[in-house]
Chains A and B, each alone.
Chain A
Amino acid sequence: MGTIWSYTKLKELSKPNRTEGIDWAGNITFGLGLILILIAITYGLLPYGSSQLGWSNPFVIGSIIAGLGLICSFLYIETKVRHPMFKLELFKIRMFTAGNLASFLRSIAYGGLMIMLIILLQGICLPLHGYSYAETPFWAGIYTIPLMVGFVTMGPISGWLSDRYGSRFLATLGMVIVGTGFLLLTTLPYNFNYMEFALIIFLIGIGNGMFSSPNTASIMNSVPAKYRGTASGMRSTLQNTGQTMSIAIFFTIVIISLASSLPTALASAVTQAGAPQLATYVQHIPVTGALFAAFLGYDPVKTIISSVLISIPQ
């Protein structure tokens, strides 16, 4: 349906310039650079040697250096090739730069939120409220709906409001709302009241909806029509890069923070449960493993208990 509709109804407004080739050098250096940095972050979160995190792994250090080198060479290439994927001089337009910077930061702040909320619900809240692990993915999906509802309801309204009050005011207010929503999320205890949680994520959805379309409109309006294709590509590349980085950044923060508190918390939990002899074992559970074990509904402590039972000489 989408194919037929777009083929028959969409009209070309600007004359396509068929002489422009694909910027292979730019595409390859940017893509490879980003992939290497993300791989490095992924392995940086896995235990290496005796350390809970992998930042001392030479492979991680090498990938980060190579990735950053490729991104720098990408920026250099973009100033040299005739038809660059990123037209860097568009950043001289203040509105274009500000809009893209805001969009990129928004993507970093917002991109990993959903997966964190899902881990919180599936790993902690739902099992504590008696849901079986088979049901948690379904209910986690249902319970995060308010985020989407907020975003979707605000979409059309924000278009109308931005015609009245201007895109700058609306996009800025949207981001202030999102930031406030994040601060409100930090006030929740782990056994929170669902209505409170739903209202906060609804608010974050509203803020994001207020920001999105006015900001995109203002980015597109700021460039001359012949550069709109490139501008749109740059905007979505930056947004997707931000989103991908966001997930890596969220996991990095969560795992670094867990690495400092979780081993002792688990050790004191088994001691309180009357099994202090397990304390040394649980202290060596990699935090990445514990996080995903909780998320996947798999209890690493049971595995440890059974392995300890096997290793006790009969």
Chain B
Amino acid sequence: MEQRTWFPTAIAPSFMEALRDAFYISALMAFIAAVASALRGRIIIADYEENAKNR
């Protein structure tokens, strides 16, 4: 137990499990971000539209 590797080895499985939970949630957020990004609609450039209207 006095070895340098004892404590990291003891907590490693629990820590990886915890990290996996966090990564699953991050993956979910990234996929929702992808959906939001896809729903942005066609490209508009605000001032071109306004100028076109005024013309």
Contact = CB atoms under 8 A, between A and B. Distances in A.
Contacts of B5: 127-128
Interface residues of A, number: 74
Interface residues of B, number: 46
A257 B13 contact: no
B38 to A, nearest CB: 5
Nearest to A204: B30
A99 interface: yes
A280 to B, nearest CB: 16
A301 B1 contact: yes
B18 to A, nearest CB: 4
Interface stretch (A23-31, A69-77, A142-150, A264-272): A264-272
B15 A123 contact: yes
A94 B2 contact: no
Contact of B18 (A128, A189, A254): A254
Q: How would you classify the secondary structure of chain B's contact residues: helix, strand, loop or mixed?
A: helix
Contact of A211 (B13, B29, B37, B47): B37
A162 B21 CA distance: 33
Contact of B30 (A101, A109, A270, A273): A109
Interface stretch (A33-41, A44-52, A180-188): A180-188
Interface string B1-31: 1101111111111111111111111111111
18 contacts: A95-B43, A99-B40, A102-B40, A106-B33, A109-B30, A124-B15, A167-B43, A168-B40, A178-B33, A188-B16, A190-B13, A191-B12, A222-B46, A257-B21, A258-B15, A265-B13, A302-B1, A305-B1
Interface of B: 1-2, 4-34, 36-47, 50
Given A221-B46, A273-B6, 19 more contacts: A95-B40, A95-B44, A98-B37, A101-B36, A106-B30, A108-B29, A116-B19, A128-B5, A168-B40, A175-B30, A175-B37, A179-B30, A182-B27, A190-B12, A190-B16, A191-B12, A224-B46, A224-B47, A261-B18
